[in-house]
A and B are shown apart, each in its own frame.
Chain A
């Protein structure tokens, strides 16, 4: 593992579910932990910071071992050097902005003057120099977020942990703050773990993305990697594509791929056995009658859900398994798609990606 990076590996029982996760973050890299709520994302951060205990855990930062239950090592939170930005920021309401940011250096034994000077430098750097003397309760959401970031950084951390950094911002602020944060993280160059439930955060901020579901890392990869080769439902939803686990027949040319109740016909000369199939909803043609031509994949099904998007409709059809299709609003109107309607779906073999 490269010098200065973070490595995390833990098993923990957390009442109603079991966490078993491992990941590494290189220096200067941002790893986004994404997944549905209660997947164990925040717990991972708490374990890295030493705010929770696990049955088995190993956390290292560069050459420093922060926790190794097997060796009986478990440093206190103040003995690890993490910059933790909490959900809703957890700013100290009884301190002013400067007092919040100076708290870290002060707690680590620097003099008051030194601490406040360091705090002021971080505030200036984040464009908050003017609000240093204000109570934190008077700040806007975006300002509070930057104060939290300044506070985390002023304690001179070796790792940055960000828990849902955008959750308490309104939609307009979000986009701007996301761009700012991205360039700031690049500038600071610390190994960073960012937790979010929002796929857009994950796709815009992560050098790498780890998908967590029910306490397990179900897929890790770069953004392109994940979008092209989703292997789980969570990632498929993130990438907005249909994904199926299928058993692929041997042989060349057009061949069968059994995915539960659905039997696809695909082109994948160099593969056989267990595989993933993926296709975009826009590749699915929806019609009222069985198409007279001969597309390789035709399924009859019942419309379960219709989701109107700004320029099109997203239709979920039960054809033995669920298939998501997209069609124009005009096409949707002429087909009279609504839940319960019988429709036919056709997908070209060439539109289906096959991978292991």
Chain B
């Protein structure tokens, strides 16, 4: 198991690592301890938790699908394209990761809100985005898509270009090459990008509350529900938090499983 040759250096390393391990484990364990299983079931049956869960699953799945749909071409462009302004585009994609999500929410409001840059024109047409479920999805895509794009880009970059060239000479169109060679070879990176983006969308809070508000059934996702519950009922907040933890563990296990399935040739 241990790749370290000498027992004493291994012991030293464990000692040095232990503080962070404890620091990470104790709060998560507290969450589990705070909510007895019976209590968890009762709390989760509450309309607030159920609605938040349903909304969260719906919005994060749509948001993740949008990240993949819109992010895949961009990731390939960044991986393969040679054009002016690539560095600028690269920075643009990184920014939503580095800015505080609340700032992202304000930015979205200023763009798509009723008085926003684009929003005021949409408003004339009778379309309002701010404080709707659509806004929740948009906030999630804004914050989560860079995670998918970065992972997918790294995956595409790792695909040997000559394999794509070989496929072209064998008679395949660029689109056919992409589907039959590039995507299968980049699959592990694409899947890990999906999981990362979904996990980030699940934990989205700041941008959502700024841009979509906190309306039960419409924009109140699990994280927002935790905050609302916390104002009146710590146990309910802990139960909903516990639910988020279960989803996160599910995402990680799913990612490991999908990752393990790679490498075996098909057909």
- Asked if A151 and B185 sit within 8 Å, CB to CB, the answer is no
Which residues of B are found within 8 Å of A76, using beta-carbon distances? 168, 173
Residue from B166, B184, B264 in contact with A86 in the complex, judged by beta carbons closer than 8 Å: B166
- Asked if B172 and A51 sit within 8 Å, CB to CB, the answer is no
- Asked if B266 and A78 sit within 8 Å, CB to CB, the answer is no
Complex Cα spacing A152 to B171, Å: 10
Complex Cα spacing A108 to B180, Å: 13
Complex Cα spacing A95 to B181, Å: 9
Complex Cα spacing A77 to B160, Å: 17
Interface residue ranges of B179-231 to A (CB < 8 Å) = 180-181, 184-185
The B contact surface, by secondary structure, is: helix
Which residues of A are found within 8 Å of B181, using beta-carbon distances? 92, 94
Residue from B171, B184, B185, B265 in contact with A78 in the complex, judged by beta carbons closer than 8 Å: B171
A136 within 8 A of B: yes
- Asked if A107 and B171 sit within 8 Å, CB to CB, the answer is yes
Which residues of B are found within 8 Å of A84, using beta-carbon distances? 165-166, 169
The range of chain A's interface size is: 20 to 34
Which residues of B are found within 8 Å of A27, using beta-carbon distances? none
* Chain A 28-51 interface mask (CB, 8 Å, partner B; 1/0): 000000000000000000100111
Query: How many of B's residues come within 8 Å of A, CB to CB?
Result: 21
- Asked if A77 and B168 sit within 8 Å, CB to CB, the answer is yes
Complex Cα spacing A96 to B263, Å: 12
Which residues of A are found within 8 Å of B265, using beta-carbon distances? 93-96, 99, 135-137
* Chain B 162-179 interface mask (CB, 8 Å, partner A; 1/0): 110111111111001000
- Asked if A77 and B169 sit within 8 Å, CB to CB, the answer is yes
> In the complex, what's the smallest C-beta–C-beta distance from B48 to chain A, in angstroms?
47
A215 within 8 A of B: no
B267 within 8 A of A: yes
Interface residue ranges of A52-102 to B (CB < 8 Å) = 76-78, 80, 82-84, 86-87, 90, 92-96, 98-99
Task: Tell me how many residue pairs across A and B have CB atoms closer than 8 Å.
Answer: 82
> In the complex, what's the smallest C-beta–C-beta distance from A104 to chain B, in angstroms?
4
Which residues of B are found within 8 Å of A276, using beta-carbon distances? none
Which residues of B are found within 8 Å of A104, using beta-carbon distances? 170-171
Residue from B170, B173, B185, B267 in contact with A93 in the complex, judged by beta carbons closer than 8 Å: B185
Which residues of A are found within 8 Å of B162, using beta-carbon distances? 86-87, 90
The A contact surface, by secondary structure, is: mixed
> In the complex, what's the smallest C-beta–C-beta distance from B134 to chain A, in angstroms?
38
Which residues of B are found within 8 Å of A96, using beta-carbon distances? 265-267
Closest to B173 in A: A78
Complex Cα spacing A234 to B162, Å: 29
- Asked if A86 and B185 sit within 8 Å, CB to CB, the answer is no
- A95 in contact with B176 given A86-B165, A86-B166, A104-B170 (CB within 8 Å): no
Which residues of A are found within 8 Å of B170, using beta-carbon distances? 78, 103-104, 107-108, 151-152, 155
Which residues of B are found within 8 Å of A77, using beta-carbon distances? 165, 168-169
- A95 in contact with B267 given A90-B160, A90-B163 (CB within 8 Å): yes
Complex Cα spacing A87 to B161, Å: 12
Most chain B beta-carbon neighbours within 10 Å: one of A92, A96, A137: A92
Complex Cα spacing A269 to B181, Å: 65
- Asked if A51 and B165 sit within 8 Å, CB to CB, the answer is yes
Which residues of A are found within 8 Å of B180, using beta-carbon distances? 103, 107
Closest to B168 in A: A77
Complex Cα spacing A344 to B160, Å: 55
Closest to A103 in B: B170
* Chain A 127-140 interface mask (CB, 8 Å, partner B; 1/0): 00000000111000
Complex Cα spacing A84 to B173, Å: 16
Which residues of B are found within 8 Å of A94, using beta-carbon distances? 181, 184-185, 265-266
**18 sampled A-B residue pairs with Cβ under 8 A:** A51-B168, A51-B169, A77-B169, A80-B169, A83-B169, A84-B166, A86-B165, A87-B162, A90-B162, A90-B165, A92-B163, A94-B181, A94-B185, A95-B266, A107-B173, A107-B176, A135-B265, A152-B170
| A-B contacts besides A76-B168, A92-B181, A155-B169, 13 pairs, CB < 8 Å | A76-B173, A77-B169, A78-B169, A90-B166, A93-B265, A96-B267, A99-B265, A99-B267, A103-B170, A103-B172, A104-B170, A104-B171, A135-B265
Going nearest first, the 6 A-B pairs with the smallest beta carbon separation are: A107-B172, A77-B168, A104-B170, A99-B267, A84-B169, A108-B171
Q: Enumerate chain B interface residues (CB-CB to A < 8 A).
A: 160, 162-163, 165-173, 176, 180-181, 184-185, 264-267
Q: Enumerate chain A interface residues (CB-CB to B < 8 A).
A: 46, 49-51, 76-78, 80, 82-84, 86-87, 90, 92-96, 98-99, 103-104, 107-108, 135-137, 151-152, 155
